[in-house]
Amino acid sequence: MCTLLAASEAERAEYEIELVLLDDEPPVYSPPPWVRVHQLDCRSSLPRSVFALREVFARTRPDVILSFLTRANIAAVAGAKSLGIPCVISERIQNSAHLGAGLSAQIAKQIIRLAYPRADHIIAVSSGVSKDLETAFGVAKRQITVIDNPVDAEAIENAGRAPSSLAIAGPYIIGVGRLTSVKNFALLIRAFHDSAYRGRLVIIGEGPERPQLEHLIRELGLAERVFLPGHVDNPFPLVRGADIFVSSSNAEGFPNALVEAMALRVPVIATNCPAGPAEILAETEREAVHGLTEGRSGILTPLNDADALTRAIDMLHSTEVRASWAEKAQQRVRDFSVRRAKDRYWAVLKGAAARR
């Protein structure tokens, strides 16, 4: 969102651009200084978000609304539709996989089924997310446009050249993401243990799965080789220095960390999860990829298959092999330019506003 805003300064000649933040949390990314920010304090509550957004919309009367993330999407649709304001929502994840199967998840899914089809248009970050919206949530295909996330390769490269806040002795493999079950870092740790790779493994991120992962590391005798440093403000120097980047997720939408590693010329391996990795690395739909597969710009492995992930790590056994895959990865990143994504977002927004 902040990347798109920063690229949209030219559009200020036609539109005033304002940003509403639902929750009062410490900022991780900063919008451009010319964007007016409405800071709310909805405390992760959907009802509070609905009422607070409607109040902002009623006061500011925007010509078109764009929202990001599921709670914001539901609240934006509810507030916008009650006021007759066009609303475009952006779906970042595959909700049928991310929400799980419990009672609260079923309630959340039903709310999405009621809200999402009422949006004027939906931007999905991958074809897999688009299909999930159609099959699981009743959204018409004509209502969806797939737009890849923008990747500011130049900014990532510059950030990667900064001094690293963490020194790792010797070569290492890296993973990045919240320590949650959906990221399945346990799979990566087991595959690393069984591989012929003699370096270290670094997993950047924090989350509720830390105790279980630490127990697994001790159980496998990897305490001296696997590191969980927690959140790192600038992870790019660490990613840039890695031999291999591995995404072991059970579900994604558009795996930003994967493409960011590619921008830093790091060879990548990803589980063929819904949704995104197959589209990025093999340039095809997930269903067309079977087993351990060498894509055009990275290696794909089946979900929850530690043996296949071990074999993929061992395939990147030499500096020459890794350099070849790194070159392919960096070339692919050019397809995710900020300018291209920004122009496509604005085409959808202007179309929605014109139909008002």
Whether residue 26 has pLDDT greater than 90: no
- For residue 318, give both structure tokens: 């030499």
Which amino acid appears at position 139 of this protein? V
Query: What's the pTM?
Result: 0.86
Whether residue 100 has pLDDT greater than 80: no
pLDDT at residue 29, as a whole number: 85
pLDDT band at residue 102, thresholds of 50, 70 and 90? confident
Residue 53: partners with Cβ closer than 8 Å, 6 or more residues away: 20, 22, 40, 72, 75, 76, 78, 79
| HSE value, Cβ hemisphere, 13 Å, CA-based, for 171 | 11
Using CA atoms, how far residue 184 sits from 15, 199, 272, in Å, is 42, 21, 13
Residues 138-182 pLDDT 10s: 999 999 999 999 999 999 999 999 998 888 989 999 999 999 999
- What's the rounded mean pLDDT across residues 99-105? 81
Whether residue 101 has pLDDT greater than 80: no
* Number of H-type helices and E-type strands within the chain: 15, 13
- The partner residues of 122 in beta bridges, in order of sequence, read 89, 144
Per the prediction, the chain carries an average pLDDT of: 94
- DSSP letter for each residue of 192-231: HHHSS--SEEEEE---TTHHHHHHHHHHTT-TTTEEEEE-
Residues of the chain with CATH 3.40.50.2000: 2-150+337-354, 153-335
Options 3.10.150.10, 3.30.110.70, 3.20.20.70, 3.40.50.2000; CATH of 2-150+337-354: 3.40.50.2000
Decide: helix, strand or coil at residue 58. Answer: helix
Angle between helical axes of 256-263 and 153-160 (0-180°, round to 10): 70
Whether residue 248 has pLDDT greater than 90: yes
CATH architecture of 153-335: 3-Layer(aba) Sandwich (3.40)
Residues 316-344 pLDDT 10s: 999 999 999 999 999 999 999 999 999 99
pLDDT at residue 253, as a whole number: 86
- What gap in Å lies between CA 107 and CA 110, rounded to an integer? 5
Using CA atoms, how far residue 7 sits from 10, 31, 342, in Å, is 8, 11, 7
pLDDT at residue 94, as a whole number: 84
Is the C-alpha dihedral spanning 146, 150, 151, 154 positive or negative?
Answer: positive
- For residue 166, give both structure tokens: 């963490």
- For residue 107, give both structure tokens: 């309630």
- What gap in Å lies between CA 320 and CA 304, rounded to an integer? 28
Residues 27-65 pLDDT 10s: 888 899 999 999 999 999 999 999 999 999 999 999 999
Rounded percentage of the chain residues whose pLDDT exceeds 70: 100
Is cis: bond before 223, omega within 30 of 0? no
Residues 176-217 pLDDT 10s: 999 999 999 999 999 999 999 999 999 999 999 999 999 999
pLDDT at residue 270, as a whole number: 98
pLDDT band at residue 99, thresholds of 50, 70 and 90? confident
- The partner residues of 89 in beta bridges, in order of sequence, read 67, 122
- Tell me, rounded to whole angstroms, the distance of Cα 187 from its chain centroid: 19
